[in-house]
Amino acid sequence: MPMAGIYGPKDLGGSLAVHPAQPAPQSRQQQAHGREFAMPSLEWTPEVERATAHLYERVKNVISPVEWPLMAPYIKAINELKVTRNAVILAHNYQTPEIFHCVADIAGDSLQLAIEATKVKSDIIIQCGVHFMAETSKILNPNKTVLIPDSRAGCSLAASITGADVRLLRERFPGVPVVAYVNTSADVKAEVDICCTSSNAVQVVESLNVPTVIFLPDQYLARYVASQTKVKIIAWKGACEVHERFTGDELRAYREADPSVQIIAHPECPPDVLAEADFTGSTAHMINWVRNKHPKRVVMITECSMADNVQAELPDVEMVRPCNLCPHMKRITLAKILDSLVYLREEVVIDPVIAEKARRSVERMINLKN
Ligand code: 13P
Ligand code: SF4
């Protein structure tokens, strides 16, 4: 179904949305969880080498032996301190291999992380990902401490729209339900009917049983959904600054160089890119596609670290890596995760009234039957 329209702040008379990442109030969380811990030793010793040898086995295809002595002391310290703190580490598929394979307790795409966040038993959740992901964990766990190692880890999609913009869209299209990609702030989630991720966007849109929906904020994901359903889609002019950089020409060049190469792409890419891809899916769907098909050579059209994470697991699949990095995801490092555990920072705080409203739209998505 062709798209029914695409809007941005200027079309609604609203102001351009900017979501500065929220600085963390430090004192309250530290009171809540008692004492601060001393920074552990970060020396590379034979003991550190022994204690982390099994973890190096997981990443030896993608992390050189020269780099490991710089990472291993942090990894050992993080894994010990998270037990002492009763903390769990959730990591998105775009986190670097030393985080994804060596310190994460749960790793996955946005949907998997949101679902897993509902099952967490620990007192503290450390979100290795971007701010909207940490907010989603907090929305689903209002009584737990949710920390993000760097609260400046934003997202161009989440920054493209505010709750006020959603209210203006509702005025323009009365009675049309609003679906928000989880790549939005809690303020936006509080104003919409239901959330979705790239794993379930078509299913969520169709679950509403209406002829037209407003789908925000990613115009390219909206176009992809429109191509898969008869429901009319009114979109927002947001875009992912990482995926919008890929071009159809780039993909054609890969195919010219090797006609047998497999190309798989994330639906945040522009339509000319998706038209050239052999498969389109969320980060988790892309990983499963590579696991199941086991291609000889594959180009992953998404954030660069994901190819490293899959390469670590599947050394015999040749990854072609067009390396577009998400600068926000890359703000999360081992050193900042350790700081998070030692100093309990940076805490994600959401106004309880907004969190309660946002929870309804996230839970409505999670509770959808498959
Ligand atoms: P996934 O839901 O596919 O993990 O994507 C999240 C994201 O931010 C992609 O850029
Ligand atoms: Fe946001 Fe794009 Fe980064 Fe994903 S890759 S977090 S959509 S900026």
Q: Give residues with Cβ within 8 angstroms of 261, minimum separation 6.
A: 254, 255, 297, 298, 299, 320
Nearest CA to ligand 2 atom 7: 240
Q: Ligand 2: distance of its center to the CA of 117 in Å?
A: 20
Q: What is the per-residue pLDDT across 155-203, written as a single tens digit (0 to 9) for each?
A: 999 999 999 999 999 999 999 999 999 999 999 999 999 999 999 999 9
Nearest CA to ligand 2 atom 2: 240
Q: What is the mean pLDDT of residues 44-52?
A: 98
- pLDDT reading at 31 higher than 80: no
- pLDDT in the model for residue 13: 67
- pLDDT in the model for residue 32: 45
Q: Ligand 2: distance of its center to the CA of 48 in Å?
A: 34
Q: Which two tokens stand for residue 101?
A: 């394979």
Nearest CA to ligand 2 atom 3: 326
- pLDDT reading at 34 higher than 60: no
Q: Ligand 2: distance of its center to the CA of 361 in Å?
A: 21
Please tell me whether the overall predicted TM-score, pTM, comes out greater than 0.85 for this model.
Answer: yes
Q: What is the mean pLDDT of residues 341-353?
A: 96
Q: What is the mean pLDDT of residues 294-316?
A: 96
Q: What is the per-residue pLDDT across 121-144, written as a single tens digit (0 to 9) for each?
A: 999 999 999 999 999 999 999 999
Nearest CA to ligand 2 atom 6: 155
Q: What is the mean pLDDT of residues 241-260?
A: 97
- pLDDT in the model for residue 25: 41
Nearest CA to ligand 2 atom 8: 155
pLDDT interval class at 11 (50, 70, 90): confident
- pLDDT reading at 20 higher than 50: no
Q: What is the mean pLDDT of residues 25-33?
A: 45
- pLDDT in the model for residue 8: 84
Q: Ligand 2: distance of its center to the CA of 47 in Å?
A: 38
Ligand 1 atom showing the smallest separation from residue 92 Cα: 4
Q: What is the mean pLDDT of residues 325-338?
A: 98
Ligand 1 atom showing the smallest separation from residue 281 Cα: 3
The finding on whether 183 has its CB within 6 A of some atom of ligand 1 is yes
- pLDDT reading at 76 higher than 90: yes
- pLDDT in the model for residue 3: 77
pLDDT interval class at 370 (50, 70, 90): low
- pLDDT in the model for residue 27: 41
Nearest CA to ligand 1 atom 8: 183
The finding on whether 268 has its CB within 6 A of some atom of ligand 1 is yes
Q: What is the mean pLDDT of residues 69-79?
A: 98
